[in-house]
Amino acid sequence: MNWIRCALAGLVLCCFMVSPLSARHPLAAPGVTSLTNPQVRYRTTDAHFFVLKRGKVTAVIVDNAAVDTELLPGHRAGYNGLASLKYAGQKENLFVPALAGLNFEHIHDGKTRLPEKFEPRKFPMQLRVISEDTVELYQAPTPNWKLESCGRYQILDDGTIEYTFECIPHAALFKNGYIGLFWASYIQAPQDRRIHFYGKRKEGTDQGEHFLHARTPAHGVDSTHPPAGGRFLPRVAEDFPLTLVNHPSAYVYSRPWYYGIRDNYAYTQLFRSQDQIWFAQSPTGGGKQNPAWDFQWFIPDYQPGEAYGFIMRAHYTPWSDRTTLEQQIQTHLSALKQD
C-alpha cells in the first residue's frame, strides 16, 4: 500500500489548488530577500562566512564552501547556513563543527531517480551582506532542478535567528506536481536526542493533544511529523532514496514549533502555520551520536517563474523548564503570525 495512504489516513486532504482568479499562491514569497525585492541593497565578500552577534548569542553563517579556520575548525564544503551557534560563555558549538544547522539540503519531486541527492550542497552559493545583523545566501538556478533561491539570516534583539527562504523554479521539472525541499540541523552529541512538541495521533480513539517526546528508532523510521489538518499530502515513491522525507510517524504536530536540548540549552525551531512545514528528525543524521533536528517543505501547484517562500525562527537559550521556554518564545510565535 502506498505509504501516504498507510501513514497519513485521517488527515484532511484538500485540493489546495490556486484559483485562476487568486492573486497569490498560498505559499507565495513574502518579498523580503534580494531575490524578489530589487530595493534590497547588499555587498558581496570574498570570505565564505559572516559573524552575527546580538544579545548573548553569536552565530556564524557560511556559504557552501569549506571554511577551516580557528573560528570554524574542520568545517566541510557543502554544508551551508548556521555553521556555529553559541550562547555567552559556551565553548562548544551547538552543531557538529564540520557540518551546520538550518542547512539547505535537498531539492526533489518525490521520484526515485534523483539527478543529485544534495543539489544545494554541490553548486556555489553567494554570501550577501545586508547589514551587520543580516546576511543572505543566494544560489543561482541549479543545473538539475533550475531552482533559484535565497535564504536570509537575521539576528534579532535577543539573539534569535529569523530565517526567510524564497525560491523561483525556472522550469517545470518537478514531475509529481510539487517542489520538495529539506533543511537539516546536525546537533553535536546531545545527551538527549529527542525532539519535543505538541501533537496527537493521526488515527485511533485518542485524538487529544499531548506533549510528545520523539526519538526515532533509526534513520528513516518514523522520521517526519506533518501538521495536523495538513492541506497537502505529497506523492512520494515508496523506494524514494531520501528516507527522512517519506516515512511519517504515527503523530501530527498541533503547534508549529519544537525543541531539543543539548548541554542545558534549548534549541527551538518555530514556524508559521500557513507555511505547512513538516518536522523531521534522525537519531544519527550527523553521525553516530549526532542527531539531525530537521524540517521539510512542499510547494504544490507551482508555476515556473513564480516566487515562493516561508519564514521561521531559531531560538537558542539556557534551558530551565518547558513553562519558561514557552513564555520566552511566545513573542516570536506572535510575530510569526503577523508576518
The CATH code of the domain that includes 280 is 2.70.98
pTM: 0.92
Asked if 95 and 106 touch (Cβ cutoff 8 Å), the reply is no
At 212, list the grid cell. 510528545
Question: Is residue 28 domain-resident?
Answer: no
Q: How confident is the model at residue 211 (pLDDT cuts 50, 70, 90)?
A: very high
pLDDT of residue 21: 44
Q: 164-200 pLDDT, tens per residue?
A: 999 999 999 999 999 999 999 999 999 999 999 999 9
Is residue 24 situated within a structural domain? no
| 121 φ, ψ (degrees, to nearest 5) | -75, -30
Q: Is residue 334 part of a domain?
A: yes
Confidence of residue 339 (pLDDT cuts 50, 70, 90): confident
Residue 20 lies in a domain: no
Over 50: is that where the pLDDT of 7 sits? Answer: no
Mean pLDDT, all residues of the chain: 92
Residue 206 has pLDDT above 80, yes or no: no
Is 270 part of a structural domain of the chain?
yes
Count of C-beta atoms within a 10 Å radius of residue 250: 13
Q: What is the pLDDT of residues 22-80, one digit of tens each?
A: 568 999 999 999 999 999 999 999 999 999 999 999 999 999 999 989 889 999 999 99
Q: In angstroms, rounded to a whole number, what is the distance separating the alpha carbons of residues 264 and 234? A: 37
Q: What is the pLDDT of residue 18?
A: 42
DSSP single-letter state for residue 328: H
- Residue-level pLDDT at 23: 65
pLDDT of residue 233: 81
Residue 226 lies in a domain: yes
139 pairs with which residues across the strands? 149
pLDDT band at 329 (very low <50, low <70, confident <90, very high): very high
Residue 337 has pLDDT above 90, yes or no: yes
139: domain range? 3-14+34-338
Structure-block grid coordinates of residue 249: 510517524
Q: Which amino acid is at 112?
A: T
Residue 88 has pLDDT above 80, yes or no: yes
CA 112 to mean position of chain CA atoms: 22
Query: In this structure, is residue 26 part of a structural domain?
Result: no
Please give the full DSSP string across 91-139, using - where no structure is assigned. -S-SB-TTS-BSEEEEEE-S-S--S-TTHHHHS--EEEEEETTEEEEEE
Cα separation, 129 vs 138, in Å, equals: 11
- Residue 23 domain flag: no
Q: What is the DSSP letter of 275?
A: G
Total tally of structural domains belonging to the chain: 1
Confidence of residue 205 (pLDDT cuts 50, 70, 90): low
Q: What confidence tens digit (pLDDT) does each residue in 121-142 have?
A: 999 999 999 999 999 999 999 9
